Chains A and B, each alone.
Chain A
Amino acid sequence: MNWKNVLLLISVDIKAGRLIRGQRLRRYRESRVFQYLLYGGACLLGVLIGLAAGLFYSGVPDPNVKTLFYEGCRYLFLSFPTLILIFNLVFTMMSQIQRMGVKSSIQPPYWLPITWEEHTLASTLANLIGIPLAFLILSSSAIAIVSIYLEQVPLAALTVFALLASAFLASTTTEIFRVLQVRLVGAVYKSTGKAAVWVRFLGTMLFLVVFYVVWFAFTSGTGSIALIEAVAGAQQVVWFVPYVWLRMVLAAFVSGLPAQTVIFSLASLLFILILFYVAVRLNARFGLYELPAITVSRRVYAPKIGFLGRLGFSSLEAAVIRKDLKAFTRRRELMYVFVMPLVFILMPLMQYLGIYGRPVPLEDSRFLFALMLLIPGAMMAVMMGLMIIGEEGESVWHFFSSPVTARSLVKCKYALIIIFSCVATLICGVIGILIARPSLDIAVALFIESVLLIFALGAVSLGAGITGADFTEIPRPKMVRPLTAFVYMLLCLVLALAILSPLVPYAITMMNLSVLVSLPRIDLYVAVSISVVIALVITFVFYKIALKNAEEFLMKAEI
């Protein structure tokens, strides 16, 4: 193993971050201070947390509280390796999912004299650069400092070592998952033939939805506490699973069992080595695997005007809409827009069914219905609007070199946002009606409000998506500048509240909520009518802004 090669490969991966951060300087000078600020900050925060906890421990006069705190810390030390493992697994997998669309140009150059061991080790360690490493530093420094006050330095040292091993274990597992996923996908493409496009779409959606539902369930409020309790409680039971052996090392050490400590330490080390060996072998076998071609159609080519043409779209506009429809169902990085609405359907549905604990009472399900109807479509409109120009990436030259006018560009992109978002709202609405069984009045009013939000926020975000478009594709498509996205998301939130504001008095009356000021009683349809006027004004103004932005965008074309 040439360690210099490993370090060089990791540094290449770190430097890919320059592109993510949008650095476009010709003569690039990296600020080392800025580069290590995240880790320095994490270390400082960890030290402060450790100091605060330590000072609290030494300052507590009550011996019972002291003992409770002491035991609590030891309990947490024991759970930390598994928690770090889960955190890193989720984080590195998320990063891999984002990188699925990454161009091959940042892959290590296979033609250079680099061994698979070096490549795999570099890739595994590089996965941990950034937030996982910062979190690791934060936890380790906090543990180290607090252990001085608890007089548990040997346990803390062992815990920190276990944390590092856990992070590496998680990253190696992700590396194996990444290689297997590529090979598996290839096999699926081959076996499914023409249906491969849809298999890929549905497979990706299923994976992302399950992943996010689990993630949100665990990270939302009581979910995270439940996770810690589950981790701590279940580990003794599943001691035979190698992933909890690092925790078993600490448990044996705390219980004063030196033989078990050594056995589990050696077993953990062996498991990590085996896992790493598997990752190396898989990389060697499938690392250069090229996905087979997806044949979409073998039909005889017979162009026709089509549905969009009959709706009044010109051939140019219809062509762009059709192209984007295919983009959103064939490009993994764009499939994200479907995931959030789906999660918004599934989360309340699972709460309603009591999967996360106590089932939701019926009166609350009305509120869930309102959320299910209003949020997914609007959210989809905002997300699509922000990314729909930037998703063109470097292929944007097609718009600059072909006779596409600003009017056509805005019309077809806006139409696609409306179509997708309205379909999402319709699906959410139907599921919501089946769950909450709202009155006809409320269902109709909420459907209207949802469509109003889609039209208004779609126009707002499209205008922002044009001015804030970012066509960077390597190492991952950026689509929109983060600051633009953030500012316009806030604006969309404010405008959405403005559109929904006429319904607030009605909602308060209906849900028997007590408020400090007395609000006027308002008929539902009057409230909806006022809302329609507000939404139409917003839509009109921001559509005009989007048109102006598109004119400037096409005029200032520079590629």
Chain B
Amino acid sequence: MISSNGSALKLRGVSKRYEDIVAVDNIDLNVEHGEILGLLGPNGSGKTTTLKIVLGLVKPDSGSVNVLGIEATNDPIAVKKQVGYVPESPRLYEFLTGLEYLDFIGDIYGVALSEKQTRIKEYLEALELEGREGDMISSYSEGMKQKIALISAFLHKPKLLLLDEPLSGLDPRSARIVKDLLQKLTSQGVTTIMSTHILEIAQAMCDRIAIMYEGRLLALGNMEELRQKARLPGSDLEDIFLKLTGTDDIREVVEALLK
């Protein structure tokens, strides 16, 4: 059962620890339907672990995860049917061709034959993979693999997209197509949570931005709310991010390196 109203995602007191490292520390998060939420944070801040917890790839030590009205631990299969996921560095089946891989993904999610054929053709054409779809993925560049991973996330028309660095390795045209596509999907009610290091993209695309640091949620809100929190009126996301994460000592670091 998927509820049509309420939040698309609710995290309550979610924590995850790996030995002596706290990957995610007591996070509470609500994401509304049709919203694009950007997850920002330095390396190792817990963004990827949070995305994995939402999909059930990592079990939290404590807290509850509700995805599209479903308790993730109660019915993980129902959650997975509604979610499209692109991991940080997607390991695809490299012995398959691009077409075979997408056909495999379509079948895994039970996409109808004619629909699958049409969508695969459209996506391959849009992301300029036509002509290479019959080649084994092992011969693809990183950007091409990323395109295949993105298509596989969109193929079954998910209600929630979990994208870990989705634009990594994409050429400008494809990046633009993916950005526009995400905006269109948002207008159709699809929720997107994306982690990224490209602050300009986050600022331009996301309705709200969550800044994570050492597993904690430091700040959450739209650009105006983040500016207020950082007490940096009129500044851009880069300044806010550096101030909030305590990494604004850039000048001193560079000067020390140049010595």
| Residues of A that sit less than 8 Å from B by CB | 26, 291-299, 301-305, 314-316, 318-320, 322-323, 326-327, 330-331, 393-395, 397-398, 400-405, 554-559
Contacts and interface: CB of A to CB of B under 8 A. Distances in A.
Main secondary structure of the interface of A (DSSP, over half): loop
A325 to B, nearest CB: 11
Contacts of A403: 77-78, 80-81, 108-109
B59 A319 contact: no
B117 A302 contact: yes
Given A315-B110, A395-B92, A401-B55, A301 B117 contact: yes
Contact of B91 (A303, A319, A330, A397): A397
Contact of A301 (B85, B91, B92, B120): B120
Given A397-B91, A558-B59, A296 B113 contact: no
A554 B55 CA distance: 12
Nearest to B137: A293
A139 B134 CA distance: 53
Nearest to A194: B134
Interface stretch (B95-103, B173-181, B203-211, B218-226): B95-103
B100 A393 contact: no
Given A326-B95, A327-B95, A331-B95, A398 B113 contact: no
15 contacts: A26-B19, A293-B135, A294-B136, A295-B135, A296-B135, A297-B99, A297-B134, A305-B113, A316-B108, A319-B103, A319-B108, A320-B104, A395-B91, A400-B55, A557-B57
Contacts of B83: 401
Contact of A319 (B55, B104, B134): B104
Contacts of A398: 93, 108
Interface of B: 19, 52, 55-59, 76-78, 80-81, 83, 85, 87, 91-93, 95-97, 99-100, 103-110, 113, 116-117, 120-121, 132-136, 138-139
A393 B91 contact: yes
B59 to A, nearest CB: 7
Contacts of A559: 52, 57-58
Contact of B96 (A323, A394, A402): A323
Given A316-B108, A326-B95, A296 B100 contact: yes
A548 B136 CA distance: 35
B80 A401 contact: yes
A400 B57 contact: yes
B172 to A, nearest CB: 24
Contacts of B133: 301
Contact of A294 (B78, B85, B93, B135): B135
Given A315-B108, A398-B93, A401-B83, 12 more contacts: A293-B138, A301-B99, A301-B103, A301-B120, A305-B113, A318-B107, A319-B103, A323-B96, A393-B91, A401-B56, A401-B87, A558-B59
Contacts of B59: 556-558
Nearest to A324: B93
Contact of B108 (A294, A299, A330, A402): A402
Contacts of A26: 19
A323 to B, nearest CB: 5
Contacts of A400: 55-57
